[in-house]
Chain A
Amino acid sequence: MSVRISAAIAAISLLSSAALAQGAKPTDPQIAHIAYTAGVIDIAAAKQALEKTSNKDIKAFAEDMVRDHEAVNKQALDLVKKLKVTPEDNDTSRSLTKNGTDKLAELAKLKGAEFDKAYATNEVAYHKAVDGALETLLIPSASNGELKSLLQTGLKIFQGHEQHAEHVAAALK
């Protein structure tokens, strides 16, 4: 079994297990926190890539990630402010953050083509996991219409990222 698939499965189960453990679907304040955290992690990964890579495709991809995820997160902040919702930290967000931090540390040790490959592979797995979680858990659980719609926009754009990451990863092989 490829590392990529197992990583994706691990991340999806991680995203859903915390909610399942509580025996209930996540609340809107939790969903907002999870979605925002997922964006922050990908932005951090992209910024690391921009510092480390000299590959033009990786650079362009990472720039896209910063631009799009910052746009979604800005919108998310505006929305919670408007709805007077305080995003609520939760186990899923905490696991995401821990995994993201671990991944940054792991990738920090790599250089050149090795780094590029590991970053691209992780971006495919990460977007797969986030898209899976959005589709099966976060979007169906969201009760506020505007939050749901923002998550749907997020899903659409992240599916594009997933394809883009797959292209970039395939080109590196």
Chain B
Amino acid sequence: MTPRWILPIVAALALGMSVPAQAATIQISMENLVISPAEATAKVGDTIEWINKDIFVHTATARNGDWDVTMPPKKTVTLVLKKAGTIEYYCRFHPNMKATLVVEPE
């Protein structure tokens, strides 16, 4: 016998879980002053994992000002994408490091 109040909770959980399950994690690495992949595609709601394999501090700075992530040496920093767009970004400290991230609508 299932108490009546359980059903809405189960339904809510099932619904609630189905949305984030579609969000993906995309890894982008910075190694030897190169961002790879140089062009990546993601969706709003996805998480970007910036992996800094260098001994230097790097940033992922969107030219349009959407985000500016700082990665200490040998550290990984995550960012959840909130806005769609084709974003050119670079490292503020090493401006030769450039890449593009295409963020598609959810």
Contacts and interface: CB of A to CB of B under 8 A. Distances in A.
Interface of A: 64, 67-68, 71-72, 74-75, 153, 156-157, 160, 163-164
Contacts of B33: 153, 156-157, 160
Interface in B10-62: 32-33, 54-57
Interface of B is mostly: loop
A121 to B, nearest CB: 21
B56 A157 contact: yes
Contacts of A164: 95
8 contacts: A64-B93, A71-B56, A74-B55, A153-B54, A156-B32, A157-B56, A157-B94, A160-B94
Interface in B51-96: 54-57, 73, 93-96
A67 B57 contact: yes
Contacts of A75: 55
Given A153-B33, A160-B33, 5 more contacts: A67-B57, A74-B55, A153-B32, A153-B54, A157-B33
Contact of B93 (A67, A153, A156, A163): A67
Contacts of A67: 56-57, 93
Contacts of B57: 67, 71
Contacts of B94: 157, 160
Interface size class of B (residues with CB under 8 A): 10 to 19
A82 B95 CA distance: 32
A153 B32 CA distance: 6
Interface of B: 32-33, 54-57, 73, 93-96
A163 B95 CA distance: 10
A149 to B, nearest CB: 9
Given A156-B32, A156-B33, A157-B33, A72 B55 contact: yes
Contacts of B95: 160, 164
Nearest to B32: A153
Q: What are the 5 closest A-B residue pairs judged by CB atoms, nearest first? A: A71-B55, A75-B55, A71-B56, A160-B96, A156-B33
A72 B32 CA distance: 12
A68 B56 contact: yes
Contacts of B56: 67-68, 71, 157
Contacts of A71: 55-57, 73
Contacts of A64: 93
A43 to B, nearest CB: 14
A156 B73 CA distance: 17
B52 to A, nearest CB: 12
A133 B29 CA distance: 30
